Structure 1
Amino acid sequence: MKFLFIGDIVGRAGRRAVREIMPDLVKEHNIDLVVANGENAAGGFGLNKKVAEELFEYGIDILTMGNHTWKNKGIFKFVDQEPRIVRPLNFAPGVPGRGYSSFLKNGRRITVVNLIGQIYIGPHDSPFRIIRDQLDTLKRESDIIIVDFHAEATGEKGAMGYYLDGKVDCVYGTHTHVQTNDAKILPKGTAFISDLGLTGAVDSILGMKSEPIVKKHLTGLHTKFEVGTGTVQLAGAIYDHKENTIFPVRINDA
């Protein structure tokens, strides 16, 4: 099976990148399943039902989340009923949604897990201990296990990759919106990349217009961030489970 993993989709520009770039990429590489990070997809912060349905209509199979999961309050109305949306497993017990979800595709049971880091990103339960405690269950329920680790620190992402090496099939990072040049197969066979990168406006700071962000750095005053416009890019990685290969992709479109 071949997977396309798409890095953080930021606002309308990111959705346009998915709509315009993803279909040819899926066709060219014979992709079987598409997983995308959608925590910034609605206006740059959070996710709502309309935007989720739009992305599913474009051909995304599963949306993972992160630190902006609850930014759009509309998500509380539907996240429990939507198995195609996966929020971090190590959020506090009892919060809405699910930390992993399993799907039958081409006769294989695929499980997608979402975790969130602890370094520079907020107080959460240890993603290492949480995934450790769930591994036996995940393995019983799955043929292929994919982990989106939404984290800030590259070192924490690397630690998760090595911790899960040989225990899951692929670990990739999201959140920093900057694609890393370290796609590889770890010693025990797990595919890994630290960050998939940004799907959104190219002329931007992490998908947002540069002017308000520069102003904030100059003045220290709160400014309203706006989603970038113009040329867009789709960034992510393609993982071939049969061949056990992973390589980054980043494609621009006017």
Structure 2
Amino acid sequence: MLFKVLAVGDVTGESGVDFLRRKLRPLKKEKSIDFVAVNGENAAGNGLLPAHAEDILAAGADVITLGNHTFGKVQVSNFLEENPYMLRPANFTGRAPGRGWAVYDCGRVQVGVLNLIGRCDLDFNAENPFTTADRILKNADKPTFVLVDFHAQATSEKLAMRYYLDGRVSALWGTHTHVPTADAGVCEKGTGYITDLGMTGPARSVLGIRPEQSVEFFLGGLPGRYQTAEGPCRLQGALFTLDSGTGLCVGVERIEVS
């Protein structure tokens, strides 16, 4: 049986959440998508509130993954404990609330989702993501499919994880840099991969922020508190087609909805 998984790039700002709300369900119907993972850590710019998480799930997401802005809004801490459909990086310190790995029953198949954060230029006192993946994959009851959101800055770290987990997980995608990469495909041992999904939010922006503010920063000025850009949005991500017989990937398609 073929099973289609959509991974959606970092949802940025209220306009990104609203665009997801309007576009995700029609896209699921058009592409016959079975499961949706959405990175939602920028829904409030820096972090997200429980209301944003509820909006993303109501829009059609099956699970929300996070990253370095997980605790940008402290109000989300209790929500992470209570809601099994929102994951923070599994290699955060054990004192952090929430979970980084969960298995979801989708009827004929079970989908495991693992959220990891990189350590190159993202110093959050996190444990090694490679050994964390080893530990979880070794100890967990193996579901039909295993999906990994690797929230990392360095493309080299994401690519190294590609080779490290190839054949051991169904699909692995990168988030955080908000710019889609052109390397979507199936790896040698059957894992679907893309270095970065891109983002869901304002198209005329610098990673979701007003361009004028980013330019001012790079000119050496004082841009002030960053503001989410305005204007038309787009949804970016990747669609992975998985085979329940092998638990591996047979096709990857980049997705962009403007």
Provide the TM-score with structure 2 as the length reference. Answer: 0.94
Residue matched to 1:126: 128
Question: What amino acid is the match of 1:8?
Answer: D
Checking the alignment, whether the CA contact within 8 Å between 1:5 and 1:237 is kept in structure 2 is: yes
Residue matched to 1:39: 41
Residue matched to 2:105: 104
Checking the alignment, whether the CA contact within 8 Å between 1:171 and 1:190 is kept in structure 2 is: yes
Alpha-carbon shift at residue 222 of structure 1 (Å): 5.6
Checking the alignment, whether the CA contact within 8 Å between 1:185 and 1:192 is kept in structure 2 is: yes
Residue matched to 2:252: 246
Checking the alignment, whether the CA contact within 8 Å between 1:180 and 1:194 is kept in structure 2 is: yes
Output aligned runs, 1:1-254, within 5 Å. Answer: 1-42=3-44, 44-122=45-123, 123-138=125-140, 140-221=141-222, 223-242=224-243, 244-252=250-258
Checking the alignment, whether the CA contact within 8 Å between 2:78 and 2:97 is kept in structure 1 is: no
Question: What amino acid is the match of 1:246?
Answer: V
Alpha-carbon shift at residue 133 of structure 1 (Å): 1.5
Alpha-carbon shift at residue 221 of structure 1 (Å): 3.0
Alpha-carbon shift at residue 142 of structure 1 (Å): 1.3
- The sequence identity of aligned pairs, in percent, is 38
Question: What amino acid is the match of 1:174?
Answer: T
User: Which secondary structure state, in structure 2, belongs to the residue aligned with residue 73 of structure 1?
Assistant: coil
For structure 1, list consecutive stretches of 5 or more residues without a partner in the other structure.
none
For structure 2, list consecutive stretches of 5 or more residues without a partner in the other structure.
244-248
Checking the alignment, whether the CA contact within 8 Å between 1:118 and 1:126 is kept in structure 2 is: yes
CA distance, structure 1, for counterparts of residue 188 and residue 78 of structure 2: 43
Q: How many residues align?
A: 250
User: Which secondary structure state, in structure 1, belongs to the residue aligned with residue 11 of structure 2?
Assistant: coil
CA distance, structure 1, for counterparts of residue 48 and residue 21 of structure 2: 17
User: Which secondary structure state, in structure 2, belongs to the residue aligned with residue 215 of structure 1?
Assistant: helix
Mean Cα displacement is larger for which, 30-39 or 121-130? 121-130
CA distance, structure 2, for counterparts of residue 121 and residue 201 of structure 1: 24
Listed one character per residue, the Cα deviations across residues 62-101 of structure 1 (whole Å, up to 9, x for unaligned) are: 0000000000011112210110000001101121000111
Provide the TM-score with structure 1 as the length reference. Answer: 0.95
